[in-house]
Each structure stands twice: as structure tokens, then as C-alpha cells.
């Protein structure tokens, strides 16, 4: 029986392949708008269905929470958390920065996480206590895996700190942080760039647990810090902050809370 990390990787690769199939046929892809104003497509549902199939075949007793198909109960005290296409607005515009996110929650803590960027052929993963790793996807396999870490110690100040902000809306709530730091454009989700040392800070201005479950572990296992803007240290609804150190995160939160 495959271990949980390998299973999460297999599920992410299967979801990535399904997502790419739809990404190649964007012109005919039906789109809907949810009650919260976000876009959902047939691709989101198909990717989540495919991921659930892989997980259910190996772990039929586990609970699963997905953005599109809700939560199914389990009996083992374990829960898989899925965001089948994180960044659907990017997906429908033909932007290659969308992700497939999968995490395993055990005893209220994230223990395994995978983040794939299918259209770029890139994948990140982490296991609690096992560090954070990055590789490339080729022919449905993971190649070139190597361990990554956040940027080395530097001045604990916002001036000059490299910042990524996602998405493009809701920026007003983090305006003081944007003004104080050095905002950079991003080629993949900014939290992943914090994990690989290319950014010092990343902020996501809103989301649900499935938006943060995987990336929170990927950043912390790379040596960084994850918190909600309300100070929580576990993934949940609301805006979230990723930083290369808890000290820098404290400073960023203070700037936001002093607003």
C-alpha cells in the first residue's frame, strides 16, 4: 500500500493530467459564477472527481473535503483537503499559474501536502518532519526532485523584503504591507516562492481552508512561517500570510494590525 505522501503525489498527478486536458480545450469550456462571485468550470469538478477516485481506491475510510463536491465522512480520523484548480480565474484566461492542491489532515494538523502547477510541469510537496521538496512533472512522473528552503536569515524589516500578493482583488486590506515592502511579480503562487527562497513574504487576501492547507505545510517545512492575518497558525478561512521567518511575520502582522 502506497504511503500517504506517494498517494498524494499520485492523486495530484492524476488531477494535473485531467486539468491539462481541459486547459487545452478552453474555448469550449462551460463556465459558471458561484454565489460568492468566483468562477467555476466543468474542469474544476472533473479534476476533483479524478483526485477523489485515486484517494478512495487507496484509502476508502478517509474523509475528503473538496471545494467543488463538499465533504464526505470518514471513519479513520483522517481528512484529505482538495482544491482541484486553485486560481480558476487564471485557468479560464489561459494563464499557466493555476494549481492543484492536496493536503492530508490528521488530528487537526496538516501532515502531507502537494502543490502541482500542471501547465508549467512543476510540483512541490512536503511531509511533516520531512522538509519541503520540488520537482518537475514529465510524462506523468516526478523527476529532478530536490529539497528547498526559505531565504537565509536577513534583516527583520519590511523595507527591501520581497513580497508577493495574490489575488489581484482585496488588496486594500493589506495596503500598508504593500507600501512598506518591495512587491514583486510572481510566476507561481507566491507562497511557493517563499518556500524556495525567491520571496520573503507572501499574502493571500482571502480564501478557504483548501486554499491554504497544502501551502501552509510546504512553507513551514521549508523553514518558514504561516499565519492567518488574525494570528491563527492553522489553515482556515480568511486572509493568510507566509514569511521566511516568524520574526518577519510578526513585523508584517503588526503593520497590518496597526492600520
SS3 state of residue 6 = helix
67 belongs to an annotated ligand binding site:
yes
- CB-CB contact of 204 with 194 (8 Å): no
36 belongs to an annotated ligand binding site:
no
Q: Got the DSSP string for 40-101?
A: EEHHHHHHHHHHHHHHHHH-TTSEEEETTTEEE--SSSEEEEEEEEETHHHHHTT-TT-EEE
250 belongs to an annotated ligand binding site:
no
The pLDDT assigned to 2 comes to 57
Which long-range contacts (C-beta less than 8 Å, at least 24 apart) are formed by 177-182?
177/201, 177/203, 177/252, 177/255, 177/256, 180/255, 181/252
* Cβ partners under 8 Å of residue 208, min gap 6: 67, 237
> Cell 488574525 identifies what position?
230
The pLDDT assigned to 76 comes to 78
The pLDDT assigned to 154 comes to 67
Tell how many helices (H) and how many strands (E) occur in the chain. Answer: 7, 15
CA atoms within 13 A on the CB side of 128: 13
Q: Where in the chain is the domain with CATH 3.30.540.10?
A: 4-148
Q: Where in the chain is the domain with CATH 3.40.190.80?
A: 162-258
211 belongs to an annotated ligand binding site:
yes
Going by C-alpha positions, the residue among 101, 99, 70 that lies closest to residue 87 is 99
Tell me the pLDDT of the chain (259 aa) as tens digits.
Answer: 459 999 999 999 999 999 999 888 875 566 565 555 455 578 889 999 999 999 999 999 999 999 888 889 888 789 999 999 999 889 988 999 999 999 999 999 999 999 999 999 999 999 999 999 999 999 999 999 999 999 986 667 899 999 999 987 789 989 999 999 999 999 999 999 999 999 999 999 999 999 999 999 999 999 999 999 988 999 999 999 999 999 999 999 999 988 6
* Superfamily the domain 4-148 falls into: Fructose-1,6-Bisphosphatase, subunit A, domain 1 (3.30.540.10)
Q: The dihedral of CA 172, 174, 179, 182: what is its sign?
A: negative
- What distance in Å separates the CA atoms of residue 180 and residue 194, rounded to the nearest whole number? 18
Radius of gyration of the chain (CA): 17
CATH of 162-258, one of 3.40.190.80, 3.40.1410.10, 3.30.365.10, 3.30.70.870: 3.40.190.80
225 belongs to an annotated ligand binding site:
no
The pLDDT assigned to 40 comes to 57
SS3 state of residue 110 = strand
Amino acid at each position: 500500500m502506497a504511503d500517504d505522501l506517494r498517494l498524494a503525489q499520485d492523486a495530484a498527478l492524476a488531477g494535473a493530467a485531467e486539468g491539462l486536458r481541459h486547459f487545452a480545450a478552453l474555448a469550449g469550456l462551460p463556465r459558471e459564477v458561484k454565489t460568492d462571485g468566483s468562477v467555476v468550470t466543468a474542469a474544476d469538478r472533473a479534476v476533483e472527481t479524478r483526485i477523489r477516485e485515486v484517494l478512495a481506491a487507496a484509502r476508502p475510510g478517509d474523509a475528503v473535503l473538496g471545494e467543488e463536491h463538499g465533504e464526505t465522512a470518514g471513519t479513520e480520523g483522517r481528512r484529505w483537503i482538495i482544491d482541484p484548480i486553485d486560481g480558476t480565474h487564471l485557468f479560464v484566461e489561459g494563464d499557466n499559474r493555476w494549481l492543484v492542491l492536496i493536503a492530508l489532515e490528521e488530528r487537526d494538523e496538516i501532515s502531507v501536502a502537494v502543490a502541482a502547477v500542471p501547465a508549467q510541469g512543476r510540483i512541490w510537496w512536503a511531509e511533516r518532519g520531512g522538509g519541503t521538496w520540488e520537482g518537475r512533472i514529465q510524462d506523468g512522473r516526478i523527476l529532478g526532485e530536490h529539497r528547498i528552503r526559505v531565504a537565509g536569515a536577513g534583516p527583520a524589516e519590511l523595507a527591501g523584503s520581497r513580497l508577493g500578493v495574490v489575488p489581484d482583488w482585496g488588496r486594500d486590506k493589506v495596503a500598508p504591507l504593500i507600501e512598506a515592502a518591495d512587491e514583486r511579480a510572481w510566476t507561481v503562487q507566491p507562497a511557493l516562492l517563499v518556500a524556495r527562497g525567491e520571496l520573503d513574504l507572501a499574502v493571500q487576501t482571502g480564501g478557504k481552508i483548501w486554499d491554504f492547507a497544502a501551502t501552509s505545510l510546504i512553507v513551514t517545512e521549508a523553514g518558514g512561517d504561516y499565519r492567518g492575518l488574525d494570528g491563527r497558525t492553522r489553515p482556515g478561512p480568511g486572509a493568510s500570510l507566509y514569511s521566511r521567518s516568524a520574526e518577519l511575520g510578526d513585523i508584517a502582522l503588526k503593520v497590518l494590525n496597526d492600520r
